[in-house]
Amino acid sequence: MKADNEYEVLQKWRDGDQDAFGELFAQNATRLYNFAYRLTGQRENARDIVQTAALKAFARGCPTGEDTVFYAWMRRVVLNLFLDSERTKKRAHRPSLLQGVDWQDVEFAVAAEVQPASPRTQMDEDQRMQAIWRALDNLADEYRTVVVLRDIEGLSYEEIASHLSIPLETVRTRLRRGRQRLRDVLQPLVSDES
Amino acid sequence: MDKSCCFHDLLSASLDGELSPSEQVQLDEHLLVCESCRKALDEYRKLTSLLGGIPDASVPNGLVENVLKETTQTLQANKEVSTLIPKSRFAGARWMRWSAAVAAVFLLVVLWNGLPGLNDGNVTPLLTSIVAIAEEEWAALDMVFSFDPSRISVKSVESALADSGFLMVSNIGSNEIRVSMASSEAFGPDGGVTVLDLRIMPMSSSDGKSSFLRLETARAYRLDGRPASVTLDQISAPLPEQSDGNGCSSA
Q: What is the ipTM of this complex?
A: 0.78
The pLDDT tens digits of the residues spanning B105-138 come to 333 333 333 333 333 345 677 777 887 887 778 8
A132 closest CA partner among A91, A183, A176: A183
pLDDT in tens, A90-130: 544 444 444 444 433 333 333 333 333 344 554 567 788 88
Contact A77, A163 (CB under 8 A): no
Closest CB from B54, B64, B70 relative to A55: B70
Buried/exposed B217-244: b ≥16 CB within 10 Å, e otherwise: ebbbbbbeebbbbbbbbbbbbbbeeeee
CA nearest to A55 within chain B: B226
Predicted pLDDT of residue A39: 92
pLDDT at A88 over 70: no
Distance CA B171, CA B203 (A): 21
Measured between CA atoms, the residue of chain A closest to residue B227 is A59
Record: contact A182-B47, CB cut-off 8 A: yes
Arithmetic mean of pLDDT, B19-46: 93
Task: Output b/e per residue, A2-41; b: 16+ Cβ within 10 A.
Answer: eeeebbebbebbeeeebebbbbbbbbbbeebbbbbbbbbb
pLDDT band at A158 (very low <50, low <70, confident <90, very high): very high
**Interface probe with B: pick from A13, A33, A78, most Cβ of B within 10 Å:** A33
Q: Identify residue B226 by its one-letter amino acid code.
A: R
The yes-or-no verdict on residue A3 having pLDDT over 70 is no
Mean pLDDT of A9-26: 87
Could you tell me the CA-to-CA distances from A8 to A11, A77, A140, A148 in Å, in that order?
A: 5, 22, 40, 30
- Tell me: the pLDDT tens digits for B43-102? 999 999 999 988 888 898 889 998 888 887 766 655 544 444 333 333 333 333 333 334
Residue A4 banded pLDDT, cuts 50, 70, 90: low
Mean pLDDT in residue range A159-176: 94
Percent of chain A with pLDDT over 70: 77
What is the pLDDT of chain A when averaged over all its residues?
80
> Cα(B208)–Cα(A67) distance, rounded to whole angstroms?
55
The Cα of B46 is separated from the nearest Cα of chain A by a number of Å equal to: 6
Q: Give the integer Cα–Cα distance in Å for B33 and B11.
A: 15
Q: For chain B, what is the total number of helices (H) and then of strands (E)?
A: 6, 8
Nearest by CB to A176, from B12, B39, B70: name it: B12
User: HSE-up of B195 (CA within 13 Å, CB side)?
Assistant: 32
CB contact under 8 Å between A52 and B226, yes or no, is yes
Q: Does A166 touch chain B (CB under 8 A)?
A: no
What is the C-alpha separation between B168 and B155, in angstroms, rounded?
16
Q: What is the pLDDT of residue A74?
A: 93
The model's pTM is: 0.56
| Residue A26 near residue B68, CB atoms below 8 Å | yes
The 8 Å CB, 24+ separation contacts for A155-159 are A157/B16, A157/B18
Render A48-96 in DSSP notation, one character per residue: HHHHHHHHHHHHH-----TT--HHHHHHHHHHHHHHHHHHHS-GGGSPP
Confidence of residue B22 (pLDDT cuts 50, 70, 90): very high
Cα(A85)–Cα(A64) distance, rounded to whole angstroms? 27
Cα–Cα distance for residue pair B195/B132, rounded to 1 Å: 6
CB contact under 8 A, A151 and B51: yes
User: Pick from A34, A54, A147: which is nearest to B57 by CB?
Assistant: A34
CA dist B102 and A112 (Å) reads 72
Q: Which amino acid is at B23?
A: E
Distance CA A125, CA A112 (A): 14
Kindly indicate the confidence band of residue A33, based on its pLDDT and cuts at 50, 70 and 90: very high
Backbone angles phi, psi at A79, to 5 degrees: -60, -45
Which whole number is the average pLDDT over B190-200? 80
- Per the CB < 8 Å rule, is B54 touching A133? yes
CA B209 to chain CA centroid, nearest Å: 31
Range with lowest mean pLDDT among A78-92, B36-50, B205-219: B205-219
Question: In the sheet that B126-134 helps form, which strands lie side by side, from edge to edge?
Answer: B152-159, B190-202, B126-134, B230-238
SS (H, E, C) B100-153: HHHHHHHHHHHHHHCCCCCCCCCCCCEEEEEEEEECCCEEEEEEEEECCCCCEE
Query: Do residues B234 and B246 lie in contact, with contact meaning Cβ atoms separated by under 8 Å?
Result: no
Helix, strand or coil, per DSSP, at residue B177: strand
Q: How many CA atoms lie within 13 A of A9 on its CB side?
A: 19
A168: pLDDT strictly greater than 50 = yes
Contact (Cβ atoms closer than 8 angstroms) between residue B224 and residue A56: yes
Q: Which of B64, B70, B75 to mutate to test the interface with A (most CBs of A within 10 A)?
A: B64
B9, B39, B75 member nearest A18 (Cβ)? B75
